[in-house]
Amino acid sequence: MHAHNALLVCILVSLSLNGYATRDEARIEDRTLENSCDDVVVIGKIDNGKYQHVSNPDDLIGHGWFDATISVRKVVRGPRLPKVIPVRYFAHTYMREDREFMFVLNRTENGILVIRTGQTTALRPTLSTPCE
């Protein structure tokens, strides 16, 4: 098997195992969001904004930075936030706007909130790191 075929098989297997679990099938690993105690964690819906492509000749499917806003329903961890917050995330396509998610956010040195990870609340996500 050629190297690029093996890579494609790995990607497809990974997507089939992790990306399409239903609530009943979701394993604890699929529901657990990696986080640190410095992260901000919110529940809300995203509104996607502009996309800025990042050119990388080795990138098979293409990725870029998205500007977006999150309508915050609840702050799970972190400081009080406005009801709508600006965020950025790095991905190959837009995030769904029709579902509520739990988002783990990290603040950059210049104060920008970046989405580290997230999961639809229908899967009842949990956090990996308990913090006081």
pTM given for the model:
0.74
Model pLDDT for residues 66-97, shown as the tens digit of each residue = 999 999 999 999 999 999 999 999 888 889 99
Could you write out the three-class secondary structure of the chain?
CCHHHHHHHHHHHHHHHHCCCCCCCCCHHHHEECCCCCCEEEEEEEEEEEEEEECCCCCCCCEEEEEEEEEEEEEEECCCCCCEEEEEEEECCCCCCCCCEEEEEEECCCCCEEEEEEEEHHHCCEECCCCC
Domain spans in the chain, listed from the N-terminal domain onward: 26-127
Say if residue 23's pLDDT is above 80: no
- Whether residue 132 has pLDDT greater than 50: yes
Q: Note the pLDDT of residue 58.
A: 72
- Would you state the pLDDT for residue 60? 63
Q: Name which CATH class applies to 26-127.
A: mainly beta
**Over 50: is that where the pLDDT of 101 sits?**
yes
Check: CB of residue 44 under 8 Å from CB of residue 73. yes
- Mean residue pLDDT of the chain comes to 82
